[in-house]
Structure 1
Amino acid sequence: MPTNPTTVPRSTAGLRWPVEPAMGGWYTAAERTAVEFALDDAADWRMGWKSAPYTQRFEDAFSAHTGADHAVAFNSGGTALEMDLHFLGLEPGDEVISCAINFVGPHIAVIGQGGHLVLAEPDPITLNLDPADTERVITSRTRAIVVTHWNGAVADLRPFLDLADRHPHPVHGPPVVIVDAARACGGRTPLGAVVGAEGWATVFSFESKKLMTTLGQGGMVTTNDSALADRLRWLRTYGGREHWGTNQMMTKAQAAVGLVQLSRLDEMNHARIRRAHQRTRQLADVEELTLPPTFNGRMHLYYRHNLLVPVAWAGEGRDQFMNTLADRYGVGSIISDPPTYLGHRLIRDHIGAHRCPRAERLTARLLCPCLHPRMSEADETAICDAIRQATVHTARTHCTSH
C-alpha cells in the first residue's frame, strides 16, 4: 500500500500561482478598523484583552446567521471538534464514522478523544461521505457520524439523520451527527437552510485559508442542544468551578474581525462561486477532465475546484499532469485530500487492515489547481489555458510511455 502520498508538484520554486491560496477570503478597511478599535479598547488597563463582550457579539451574530440556537467560539475549529467529541465521553469500542477522504484533523480528534475511527467511502460525484457505505459500516457501537462538507460541496444530512435513528446505540440512543463545515461556512443545504442549523453540532474553522478568517485562526460550534452549548463554554474556560476544561478562548481582536468577516461572507462566497463557475465553463470541452458538480443556491462554495483526470492516468499520469502545470506554466495544484491513512501513521496504525478502495481510486485521479475569487481575469485565463495545454501534453506523453 502506498504511504505518504505526494500532495503537491515535485517543484514549487518557480510557481506564478501557489499550490493553494494562503488566505481564502480577503480583508478591507473595515477589518483593519475593527482591529484598531480592539487595540484602543485593550489599552485601557481596566479592560485589557478581556474578550467576553466581543466574543458574545460574534456568537450572537453567528447563531443568527445560521439559524442555530447557540454558537460557541473557540481558538480553532480543531479544538472545537475535539470538545464536541469530549462531551460524548467516548469509551473503548465506541465508534465514530467519517469519510476516508478528509483532512487529518477530524480523524486525529476521534482517536485522541478515545473513539474507534471507522472510515467509509466517498460519494463518487461530490466526494462527500456516502450514505450507502455509511450504512454498510454502522453498528450498534456507533456513537457519532462526522459528515464533512468536503471542499465546499454541501452534503445532504437527511440520509445520515435517518440512518442514525434506525441504528440506535443500546445505551446512548441514536448516534449524533456532527457536521464538519470548515470549508463550507455560509453554504446552504438542499432545503435552503444556511449550514449550521442541522445535525447535533456543526464545526466551523476560521483558519487563514478558510472562506472567512479571524486573523488566521479561530473556530465556532453551532448547536440546538443547550446542554452541549453549556458544556462547551465550560470546556473552553478551564471548566468553570466544577468541571474539567482548558483554555481555548477566541481573542478580542479575532472576534472583532469575525463580526466584519461574517457581514461580508456572502459577498466573498458569491465571488468565489462566480469564479469557479467561470472556470467550469471554460474547461467544459476538455474531454479528459471530470469537472466538479455545479450546484446553485450556494450548495457548493468551491473551497477548491476539483479536477479528476481519466482512470488511465490515475497516480502516475495525474502526477505528471500536476508537474507539467507547475514546471511549464507555473500553476500550482494540490491533491485535496488523499485518504488520511495513506499519509498519517497514527491513523494508519489505528484502523489496521481496513481500507477504502473507492477513495484511493478517486484521489489517485484528483488534483485542485489554484483558485481564488480575487484572481484577475488575466490570471484565470492563463490558468485555464495552462490546464488545457497540460492536458494535451499529458495525453500525448502518457499514452506514448504506456
Structure 2
Amino acid sequence: MPTNPATVPRHIEALRWPVEPAQGGWYTDAEHDAVRKVLAESDDWRTGWKAVPYTDAFEEAFTAHTGAGHAVAFNSGGTAMEMILRYLRLAPEDEVISCAINFVGPHIAVIGQGGRLVLAEPEPVTLNLDVADTERVISPRTRAILLTHWNGAVADVRPLLDLADRHPHPVHGPPVVIVDAARACGGRTPTGARVGVEGWATVFSFESKKLMTTFGQGGVVTTNNSALAERLRRLRAYGGRDHWGTNQMMSKIQAAVGIVQLSRLDDMNSARISRAHRRTQALEGIDELTLPPALGGGQHLYYRYNLLVPDEWAGGGRHKLMNVLAATYGVGSIISDPVTYLGHGLISEHASGQHCPRAERLAARLLCPILHPRMSPGDEAAICDAIRRATADVARTHRATD
C-alpha cells in the first residue's frame, strides 16, 4: 500500500506564505477586457456561447507560438492526455514508459486507457526521465514513451525519439513519444525549438497553478500528425457523426482569455526565470542544499523551485526542514512530486513489483519552497533568509545527534 507521503508541512496554520501559488500566471486589464467583451456579445440570445470562432483563433495562435502543425484545445490537460492515449487503443499487454517521479495524472491516464504502466528512473540533475533507464525497461511490447518536462526543466526529446526508432513494436512500429508539457508551456528545448513541436504529441495544461491559465482549467494538444489531430477534434465533440466522443470542448471565455495569456506568456516566464535565478544567487554557498540546475535559453521555467537536501537527510531530515520553515519562519513548501506508486493506491496496485530506488531516494530529498514572480522583493528576501536559517537550524540538529 502507498505510504501517503506528506506534501505540506504539519505547521500549515503558521504559514505567512502558502505551500504553493494558487495561480501561476496573472491577469492584466487585457484579460479583463477580453472577458467583458465575451460577456457582452454572448448575452445576446442570437449569439450565445458558441466557442468555435474563439477556439479556432486560440488554436491558430498556439500553432504559431509553438511551430507545431496542429493545436487542438480541450477543457483540461487531463482529458487531453486521456484522448491521446485512447487514440492508441492500448491493449492490456501494451506498455507505456514514464518516469516514477511525476504528477499522478499521466499515470492514471495510462491505466484508465487500458495500458500497462512501466516506470523508469529519473536522471539525477533535472529529475526528468532517464534515457538509459528507459532503454533498460523498453521492450517489444512498448507502445509509447511518456516524457514529462518535470517542474519546468525542459528535457531533450531527441534521444527518446532515437531510442524509440531502435525498438519498434512488431505490429505498430516505433513507440510514439508523448510529451507532458503541463509545467513547461513556452519553454525551449536544447535545439532551441519551442516546447510542443518535438515528439508525436505534446499536452499542455492551463489549470490555475500553471504558467498560463484559462480561467482555472483548459488544455491543448500540439502535434504534427494530421490523423491524430483529426481524431482528437472528433473525440472532444461527441465523435462527429460516426464515431464515439464526448464533450471536452474549451469554452468561449477560456479561449478568449487564453489568447491574451499566450501573448503575455514569454513575459510572465521571463519574470519567473529572473526571480528563480536571483533566488539561486541568494542561496549559493549553502552546503546542505542542491539548487536547481541553471539551464539557459528558456530551458528551465521554474514551475517549482526544487531543492534537494543531503542524502543523509532523506525523509526525516527533509520533513524537519519543511516544518522548521513553516513553524519558525512561516514559509510553505511542497514535495512536488513524490514517487507515484508510493502515494497513490491505484498506481501502487497497478505497478506492483516495480521498484525505482533512485526515484525513491531523490524524492525523499526533495522540497519546493513557494516561488512566484509577483512576490515582492521584500517577501522574496525574507523567504531566502528563512531557507538559509532553517537549513542551518536543521544542520545543527543533525550534528548534535551524530
Same fold (TM over 0.5): yes
Equivalent residue letter for 2:14: G
After superposition, the C-alpha distances for 1:129-148 in whole angstroms (9 at most, x for unaligned) are 00000000000000000000
User: Cα deviations across residues 91-127 of structure 1 (Å, max 9, x unaligned)?
Assistant: 1200000000000000000000000000000000000
Contact 2:2–2:344 (CA<8 Å) still a contact in 1? no
Deviations 1:144-188, CA, capped at 9 Å, x for gaps: 000000000000001100000000000000000000000000000
Q: Which residue of 2 aligns with 1:61?
A: 61
Q: Which residue of 2 aligns with 1:188?
A: 188
Q: Which deviations, in whole Å up to 9, do the C-alpha atoms of 1:11-64 show, x marking residues without a partner? A: 211211100000001000000010111111111111101000000000000011
Amino acid aligned to 1:277: H
1:230-279 deviation line (CA, Å, top 9, x unaligned): 00000000000100000000000000000000000000000000000000
Measure the CA separation in 1 of the matches of 2:301 and 2:167.
32
Residue 230 of structure 1 aligns with an amino acid whose one-letter code is E
Q: Say yes or no: does 1:106 pair with 2:84.
A: no
Deviations 1:272-305 (A, max 9, x none): 0000000001101111100000011100000011
The equivalences for 1:269-280 within 5 A come to: 269-280=269-280
Residues 216-237 of structure 1: CA distance to partner in whole angstroms, max 9, x if unpaired? 0000000000000000000000
State the partner residue of 1:130.
130
CA contact (8 A) 2:2 2:345 kept: no
Tell me the equivalent position of 1:343.
343
Aligned twin of 2:244:
244
Q: Partner amino acid for 2:140?
A: S
* Structure 2 counterpart SS, 1:322: helix
Partner of 1:71: 71
Q: 2:262: which partner in 1?
A: 262
Residue type of the alignment partner of 1:129: L
The Cα shift of 1:321 comes to 0.3
Of all paired residues, the percent bearing the same amino acid is: 75
Letter in 1 for 2:64: A
Residue type matched to 1:188 in 2?
A: R
Give me the whole-angstrom Cα distance separating, in 2, the residues matched to 1:120 and 1:310. Answer: 23
Give the match for residue 82 of structure 1.
Answer: 82
- The answer for the alignment partner of 2:354 in structure 1 is 354
Residue 227 (structure 1) aligned with residue 243 (structure 2): no
Cα separation, 2, equivalents of 1:95 and 1:174: 13
Counterpart residue identity of residue 213, structure 1: T
What corresponds to 1:289 in structure 2? Answer: 289
What secondary structure sits across from 2:12 in the alignment?
Answer: coil
Corresponding residue for residue 174 of structure 2: 174
Q: Distance in 2 between matches of 1:231 and 1:36?
A: 33
**Letter of the structure 1 residue corresponding to residue 17 of structure 2:** W
User: Matched residue of 1:203: which SS?
Assistant: strand
Moved more, 34-43 or 173-182: 34-43
C-alpha contact (below 8 Å) 2:81/2:106 kept by paired residues: yes
CA distance in 1, matches of 2:235, 2:299: 32
Superposed CA RMSD = 0.8
The 1:48/1:2 distance shift into structure 2, 3 A limit, reads closer
2:178 partner SS: strand
Deviation at 1:353, TM superposition (A): 1.4
Q: Distance in 1 between matches of 2:388 and 2:221?
A: 41
Q: Which residue of the partner structure matches residue 16 of structure 2?
A: 16
Query: What displacement does 1:397 show?
Result: 1.2
Q: What one-letter code is carried by the residue in structure 2 that aligns with 1:35? A: V
Q: Following TM superposition, by how much is the alpha carbon of 1:400 offset from its aligned partner in structure 2, in angstroms? A: 2.0
Match of 1:378 in 2: 378
Aligned CA distance change for structure 1 residues 2 and 226 (closer, same or farther; 3 Å): closer
Please state whether the residue corresponding to 1:13 is helix, strand or coil: helix
Q: Distance in 2 between matches of 1:118 and 1:399?
A: 40
- The unaligned stretches of length 5 or more in structure 1 are none
What is aligned with 1:7?
Answer: 7
Deviations, residues 309-335 of structure 1 (Å, cap 9, x unaligned)? 011111000000000000000000000
Aligned AA (1:122): P
Shift of 1:7: 1.1
Deviation at 1:2, TM superposition (A): 6.2
Q: Which amino acid aligns with 2:99?
A: C
- How far is 1:398 from its partner? 2.5
Q: TM-score, normalised by structure 2?
A: 0.99
CA distance in 1 between counterparts of 2:363 and 2:56 reads: 41
The offset of 1:399, in angstroms, is 2.8
Query: What is the alpha-carbon distance in structure 1 between the residues aligned to residue 78 and residue 357 of structure 2?
Result: 27
Partners of 2:224 and 2:79 in 1: how far apart?
Answer: 19
**Letter matched to residue 24 of structure 2:** G
The match for 1:157 is: 157
TM-score (norm 1): 0.99
The answer to whether the 8 Å contact 2:213/2:261 transfers is: yes
Report how many residues are paired: 402
Amino acid paired to 1:381:
A
How far is 1:401 from its partner? 3.1
SS at match of 2:287: coil
* SS of the residue 1:40 aligns to: helix
CA distance, structure 1, for counterparts of residue 220 and residue 296 of structure 2: 25
Structure-2 residue corresponding to 1:117: 117
The separation in 1 between residues aligned to 2:336 and 2:198, in whole angstroms, is 25
